[in-house]
Structure 1
Amino acid sequence: MSQSEIENFRQRLKNKGIDLKALHIVSFQCTQNSKAFRIKERWNQAMSHSESKFVKPLLLLDEIGLAEHSKHSPLKVLHHLLENPKILFIGLSNWPLDAAKMNRVIVHQIPNNLDADLKAIGEAIYKTKYTSLKQGDIDMLVDVFKELNKQISKQKLPLCKENWLGRRDFYALIRHYMHKPVPRESFQGIMRNLGGYRDPQFQKCLAEALEKVFRKSAKEISALMSDWGSLKCVEMNLQDKDCRHCMLVCEKPYSWQLLLDHNLLSCEDAVFLFESKFASDTATMTSYDHLHKVINCMQVGKKVVLYKLKSIHECLYDMLNQRYSTDSSKIALSQKNLNVSLLSPKKIWRIQLHHTLNNLANLFLICLSFVVFTKREKAFFGRFERQHISYIGSLSPSDFEKVDIFKKYLCNRYGLFRKKELPELFCGFNDDTIPSAILHILLQQGNRDNEDIKQDETEQLLELFYPLCHPAKIVGLTMCSPPRNVNYTDRSFGTFEQVLDTAKKNSKKEMLLILTCDLEYNSFQRKWNSKRIRDYMKVSHLEKDVTNFFESSMMDMLVLQYQHKTDDLTQFFQIKCILESAHSLYWNKSNNKKPAKKKLVVLIVHNVMGQKDPFPIIFSHIPRLSEFAFIFSLNIHVHIPKSFFFLCLCLNQMQRLIRRAFFYLEFPSSLIPSLELKVDLVPTEIQDLMVERLKLVLKKNIPINYFINKIKQEAEQTMKRQNESQPSFFQTYQIT
């Protein structure tokens, strides 16, 4: 019984001469991180009203089942409190608790009668004066929901798919069509509230349910469903002021960037908050700062992006769970739960989006975490419109066919026998690389149907991939036997300086992202005055340096080096958002009267050679950090000419010589240098390249010949020692 119904019931009793005290409810929202002292505080708060003559205190623990799974065991405090309680107590749970707690209270279990509940809800909505829905339309929606549940049970889908639907989805479905076109005309409400899971098996169940209820062909149903893709549903959710918030379920950590690509979100109108990976940002004060920023954004109606902020979920859940508050300007702000789980037995990413219900401002909260979906969190899960998004899923069927075609074209273009060789040629290549490239080109074209543009799509795709080729793989393809029948002599690889010169021309449009497998050299850091991300202890220090760079009239280039070691992209996205926000703010301030000075931002991402999860190559359209380049070595200053690849025939022999040389340096007594080391076998071009790299390591005032002579002298002395007769053991270690 709702609180309003309790008041009505009390009034009816009063009319009959039975006067009951008014209920004073002290509520507590339980979470999986609840602690015992918080429950005891609420109990004492309710007890403070126990002697009142006007009210009867009631302690209400909402979602008490979640607290049972807390590692702090907070419900044990109820054992002695419920022995002789002086206040009323109610605990709401979606599943039974353990016997130690249930034996202390009266258990009332509500039966799960889906058909009767749906019918009662439909009849209640039909009787209201706030809808134009007909009884037939309501019955049709009830049948769709029942048939979909039946299809899911019939197909025996995994638990994660079964838990996708709940009662709240049906409530939201009916609510959507109360003031919008009926389902015969539009499937918007169905796809937003029921069809967000884009798994083919789940979509098949939904299509069969719609075919049976609406009595239309499979082709007609498919056409109506295809009109409402995931991103379209998210866009309509953001425009709808009377609906649930939206949660985006992403299988990859970068899929949420689609919001930026499609202008659903931008760095200019949103505040980005991350679970910081900087060494000194793990303190409790950082969590408090995040909470204050969320509250401030709620007051002004600004969008907030929360990325893996699990540390503040408990506070956010208590603060935002289905309650409304009013700020000083009397603007109603919706406050919703953020601690929502996922939908798969494996680790899947999830994002939650929220906005306010008023027409003046939007609150937009996004949360991404690694929680595994369980049944006990289904109640949270059902409070959102859920949409599964991916780069592949954002493409139309015709564009999706281009993915495999271009993948084969890349293999033929570079002489690859298998598609599995593409990650070797492009370090960071993944299943979403080509879809993101196609989407990048489509967004640049503005989705215009122009035959000239379509004919040039392949060349545009090649231009995106050309700077990302790994030189070592190109050399390997040149050396392979039998030859790949591909001419590699037209390839050349620019140096860091050449890539910078090209990027400076477009510094207003975008920043430069350089991928490399090279190390973080101190010599490179000194020359370019670069800064390493791992040297920053707090994210505020990085923000300060970025701000100073854009405000300074003396600096025109900022070079940052980031080491990518795991598949966790949290810190990268944090850096990316800081740079993009500052870059956008700087150029937006410029005008015709006072044009801004050109400033170039370069972010170098260092991959670990041969790592399992290299930095993923994803092409973005709207984010400004979108200019990609791969540089094999940051310290090469000599341009590698095209003729370099004519010399690859001798690389096998050269590699053997180098291995022997290093083996000799490690075990000098096991080899005869005069027989193993030879000269004049390395081409002149390779010798020059090796000398250039040696100069970077050696001091400038010491000539190269000095070290060569040193090596020769050491080799001669070693040979001389080997030829001399060695003393016996007793001669060397005689006892004196």
Structure 2
Amino acid sequence: GTSKTLSLQIMLDTLSYRKIKQLNQKLKDNKFHFNVKPLQCISFQGTRSCKPSAIKELWDQTERYSNGKIVTTLFLFDEIGLAEQSPHNPLKILHQLLEHPKISFVGISNWSLDAAKMNRMIMHPIPLMDRNDCLRMAFAVSIRSNSTFLEQEITNVIMVYEKIMKDQTNAFKPNGNSDFFGARDFYALIKHQITHSERSYRQSLEGYLRNFGGLDHSNYGRQLRKILKEVLNRTEGEVIRELKKWTPVMCVERNLMEKKCDWSPNLMVSRHCMIISENYYSWQLLLEYDILNYNQVFLFGSYFPQDMYSNITSYNQLNKIIDCMDTGKTVILHNLESIYESLYDMLNQRYQRRPSGNMYCRVALGTESRDCYIHENFKCAVIVQKEDAHSPNMPVYFFRFEKQLISYRNSLPSNIELYVESARTMLLEKFNTKKLPNAFCGYCRDTLYSALLYLAVQKANKANEQQNDEKKESSRTTNLDTVQFDKKELESELLNLLNPLCRPEKMVDTQIKEDIKFYCL
């Protein structure tokens, strides 16, 4: 998120065919008496599977282009740090290629390479942004959008970002990972606030909770409430109400509904979404809410040896993703780590608009790459496990997403959450046990939350059918805010739902005790 790619793109745009005359005129006006030839860039996408032969082949092709006197050629090695991790050791070819190069070379990496390679190049590290950098960037985007964004609002966004990044309690650093939040989250928050021009909408905390989500422990919630209350001058009650309104489930829904920005043809409203699943099954509650549905394309990775070590499976998955990009479908990816690095430009929304008005991005296919068309309605969501997302060694591509942690415990509306303790107490008394796992097969801490959510959704859908209500376009989720249960109804519905899970010996024991109680009366 330090604008490495953006910096290079500005340079390539300035030295392009259509702008080279303007540059030469500026040089002449400033008494630099020489002409600069336009720059042609040949890109190579680094991956963990690339090979030296592919680099050498494209290098030779770039050198052939440089034989003409019309253009200057540049070999761009994108994500060179990923290529260094390849078992084929592809970067060893650079030792000889960079010794006496006939063409220009630029490499982009998120971390340092070994000294033997770096000594053959000029290293240009990009420092982190300070407050002045943040202010200039925010005002530039605001002016471009013709937004009535107040200076105080921009300052508030920057102060929230600074306090989160400089927090000393580790509330925003899961397992000590100081890179969980970064500059990309700040950029996305600024764009979100500016895109929604209505001042009343900007007073909402949606933007903050969507771009600084993905955590759920109590320290995180406490520190986030404290920061928002101090910087935005809100009361404790106002912040808590907003937190309950913008649950992770609601944030995921809003992300998948947003497509592109109205005031800029090149600016997307929101990033792609990372769904962090607390348990391997937690993300499936989005199916119950109908946020994820069968109109979307689901792609799952495989642990079969022939699939894991064969490029054919990866190519098939990439082709399906490219088809979704072309047709504007929403694609859900799960356990496809082997191909994520081939989709860096897509995940980063690094789209290039052609003169035709269509958007394209680069997709790496093995040792080659191709430009693929991007439909304006295309959206991508990636499902990962909590332990992977919160790992200190989280993959680089994680930084590109709007992150939300999904669990049954944080998905219940506040009006349904009120029934959790009473339902637990009722079950303990009904089955005369001290621990519910002793009574139900497969019972875990999410079981009761899942059961209450299921019953609430069923009751809300039944009410909607009776009233012939149509779903509103602004929200696809079932409205659970008005659902209520009385004590007898809740007991009856829960027992009907959980009785099939009850252990046989517990059913017999419970029935015997009920009979004894009856005859004693």
The one-character-per-residue Cα deviations of 1:77-113 (angstroms, maximum 9, x if unpaired) are 2112111111111112222222111111111222224
- The secondary structure found in structure 1 opposite 2:497 is helix
Partner of 2:299: 273
The one-character-per-residue Cα deviations of 1:287-307 (angstroms, maximum 9, x if unpaired) are 333222222232222233333
User: How far is 1:460 from its partner?
Assistant: 0.4
Partner of 2:499: 466
Q: Which amino acid aligns with 2:297?
A: V
The one-character-per-residue Cα deviations of 1:506-550 (angstroms, maximum 9, x if unpaired) are xxxxxxxxxxxxxxxxxxxxxxxxxxxxxxxxxxxxxxxxxxxxx
Partner of 2:219: 201
For residues 374 and 106 of structure 1, do their structure 2 counterparts lie closer, same or farther at Cα, with a shift above 3 Å needed?
A: farther
Within the candidate set 87, 94, 98, 1:78 is matched to 94
Within the candidate set 3, 27, 34, 1:18 is matched to 34
Partner of 1:287: 314
User: How far is 1:123 from its partner?
Assistant: 3.1
Partner of 1:246: 273
User: How far is 1:119 from its partner?
Assistant: 2.1
Q: Which amino acid aligns with 2:247?
A: G
1:140 paired with 2:173, answer: no
Partner of 2:424: 407
CA distance in 2, matches of 1:9, 1:258: 54
1:259 paired with 2:292, answer: no
- The secondary structure found in structure 1 opposite 2:513 is coil
Within the candidate set 442, 457, 464, 2:490 is matched to 457
Q: Which amino acid aligns with 2:73?
A: P
Q: Which amino acid aligns with 2:276?
A: V
Q: Contact 1:122 / 1:139 at 8 angstroms: preserved in 2?
A: no
> 1:679-718 alignment to 2 at 5 Å?
none
> 1:172-571 alignment to 2 at 5 Å?
172-180=188-196, 181-182=198-199, 185-241=203-259, 242-267=269-294, 269-276=295-302, 284-317=311-344, 322-324=349-351, 332=359, 358=376, 361-368=377-384, 371=388, 379-416=396-433, 418-419=434-435, 422-446=436-460, 447=480, 449=482, 455-474=488-507, 477=509, 486-487=513-514
Partner of 2:61: 45
Greater RCO (CA < 8 Å, at least 6 residues apart): 2
- The secondary structure found in structure 1 opposite 2:166 is helix
Q: Contact 1:173 / 1:193 at 8 angstroms: preserved in 2?
A: yes
CA distance in 2, matches of 1:442, 1:165: 34
User: How far is 1:125 from its partner?
Assistant: 2.7
Q: Which amino acid aligns with 1:110?
A: I
- The secondary structure found in structure 2 opposite 1:304 is strand
User: How far is 1:438 from its partner?
Assistant: 0.3
CA distance in 1, matches of 2:219, 2:155: 26
Q: Contact 2:229 / 2:236 at 8 angstroms: preserved in 1?
A: yes
CA distance in 1, matches of 2:243, 2:141: 26
User: How far is 1:174 from its partner?
Assistant: 0.8
User: How far is 1:487 from its partner?
Assistant: 3.0
CA distance in 2, matches of 1:321, 1:214: 30
For residues 55 and 153 of structure 1, do their structure 2 counterparts lie closer, same or farther at Cα, with a shift above 3 Å needed?
A: farther
For residues 155 and 60 of structure 1, do their structure 2 counterparts lie closer, same or farther at Cα, with a shift above 3 Å needed?
A: same
Larger Rg: 1
Q: Contact 2:415 / 2:483 at 8 angstroms: preserved in 1?
A: no
1:103 paired with 2:119, answer: yes
CA distance in 2, matches of 1:255, 1:200: 19
Q: TM-score, normalised by structure 1?
A: 0.57
Q: TM-score, normalised by structure 2?
A: 0.78
CA distance in 2, matches of 1:40, 1:323: 26
How many percent of aligned residue pairs carry the same amino acid? Answer: 37
User: How far is 1:252 from its partner?
Assistant: 0.9
CA distance in 1, matches of 2:427, 2:37: 78
Structure 2: gaps spanning 5 or more residues: 1-6, 260-268, 365-372, 461-479
Q: Contact 1:474 / 1:488 at 8 angstroms: preserved in 2?
A: no
Q: Contact 2:276 / 2:383 at 8 angstroms: preserved in 1?
A: no
Q: Which amino acid aligns with 2:334?
A: Y
Partner of 1:28: 44
Q: Which amino acid aligns with 2:285?
A: L
RMSD over aligned Cα atoms: 3.3
Q: Contact 2:244 / 2:414 at 8 angstroms: preserved in 1?
A: no
Moved more, 127-136 or 103-112: 127-136
Equivalent pairs, count: 460
